A and B are shown apart, each in its own frame.
Chain A
């Protein structure tokens, strides 16, 4: 039963493990910046998180595109 609950929860939140891990790392960096960076760090935290997540989305999708291209070309051979 716990396996089913876990797989449902995982499926609800995560579509790609690397994207989820990347997002968690970005959240952790933001948290550290806000707490260790003083007032400036706290004021910048949101913008830094936004930039990291946007870069993560583009990079993850680029990697997905390259993977698909490789699979298509190997399937054609």
Chain B
């Protein structure tokens, strides 16, 4: 596969994984800043090792052993459920019904909670270890799911999805290490909106292919499906804004 084709195929996994990595990085940064770096870094490495085992056993077995049509069908259905969840939340956020995801706020809350826990300097910081381990494992599981989903066709698709996720991880970790503060400049809410539409589109695409349907232009029809999901979501945002005036939208978050 030439680098340009690889980049195109790796982009959906890169974008989707970057969102998850930003969330995990925020937590690890908060732990590191308040309680020191040793325990959260060990927690992150332990979670990464756990994920590697999960992907190596489950993911590779799925892609190599399960027949392609069955895999596409199951992954397509799961992807649609997963994507609809993201898209629904993104629409509710943009309509003002659910509070916009704020990494700075999450970071400050995490700082306050961790400071309140306190620690003894002489002991290994198990709280810092567990908080980081849990955050990286949880967000990492979503990344593993994304890689398996986008790589469901096997071969080059799996390679591209893996490359995309690794590139996103390296990019976000490098950014977090350089700044040492929450990555608020990443347009996370917009990315989530796009990722929700992409996941749903891949879900519809894979599931239909598993049933034997041939899309016109094959993978070229995916942008068209993404466009349809974005248009429906935009319509839903407009509809919700019309249903609820501004004051009611703010109040809705507290009801």
Chain A positions near chain B (C-beta within 8 angstroms):
8, 12-16, 19-20, 23-24, 27, 30-31, 34-35, 42-43, 45-46, 49-50, 53-54, 56-58, 60-62, 64-66, 68-69, 71-72, 75-76
Q: Cβ of A69 and Cβ of B248 under 8 Å apart?
A: yes
Known: A13-B78, A20-B81, A23-B80. A57 touches B236 (CB 8 A): yes
- Known A-B contacts A15-B89, A34-B211, A71-B255; A57 and B233 likewise in contact (beta carbons under 8 Å): yes
CB distance from B234 to the nearest CB of A (A): 11
A16, A34, A46: most-surrounded residue (chain B CB, <10 A): A46
- Is A42 touching B236 in the complex (CB atoms < 8 A)? no
Residues of A within 8 A of B60 (CB): none
Q: Are B82 and A65 in contact (CB under 8 A)?
A: no
Task: Check B85 for interface membership: any CB of A closer than 8 A.
Answer: yes
Check if A27 sits within 8 Å of B208, measured CB to CB: no
Please state if B84 and A46 are interface contacts (CB–CB under 8 Å). Answer: no
By the criterion CB–CB under 8 Å, are B88 and A15 in contact? yes
A43 to B102 CA separation, bound complex (whole angstroms): 43
With contact pairs A68-B255, A71-B255 given, residues A49 and B88 touching in the complex (Cβ less than 8 Å):
no
Chain A residues within an 8 Å CB radius of B70:
none
Question: Mind listing 24 A-B residue pairs with CB under 8 Å?
Answer: A12-B82, A12-B142, A13-B78, A15-B84, A19-B88, A23-B81, A30-B207, A30-B208, A34-B211, A45-B213, A46-B209, A46-B213, A46-B215, A49-B208, A50-B204, A50-B225, A57-B84, A57-B88, A61-B88, A61-B91, A64-B92, A65-B97, A68-B252, A69-B243
CA of A76 to CA of B252 in the docked complex: distance in angstroms?
Answer: 11
- B92 cross-chain contacts in A, Cβ below 8 A: 61, 64
Most buried by B among A27, A54, A61: A61
What CA separation (Å) do A54 and B228 show in the bound complex?
Answer: 8
B244 CB–A CB distance under 8 Å: yes
Write out the residue numbers on chain B whose beta carbons fall within 8 Å of the beta carbon of A42.
211-213
Central interface residue in A23, A71, A72, by most chain B CB within 10 Å: A72
Instruction: Give the 7 A-B residue pairs with the shortest CB-CB distance, closest first.
Output: A46-B208, A34-B211, A15-B85, A65-B243, A61-B236, A54-B232, A65-B240
Number of A-B residue pairs with CB-CB distance less than 8 Å in the complex they form: 123
> What's the interface size class on B, roughly?
35 or more
- Whether A12 and B145, one on each chain, are in contact in the complex, defined by CB atoms closer than 8 angstroms, is yes
Task: Looking at the assembled complex, report how far the CB atom of B6 sits from the nearest CB atom of chain A, in whole angstroms.
Answer: 26
* Complex Cα spacing A66 to B91, Å: 15
Instruction: Please give 16 more A-B residue pairs, beta carbons under 8 A apart, in addition to A57-B229, A64-B88, A65-B97.
Output: A14-B81, A24-B77, A27-B207, A43-B213, A43-B214, A45-B211, A46-B208, A50-B228, A53-B200, A56-B84, A58-B236, A61-B239, A64-B97, A68-B248, A69-B244, A75-B255
CA–CA, A20 and B200, complex, Å: 12
Q: Is the CB of A13 within 8 A of B87?
A: no
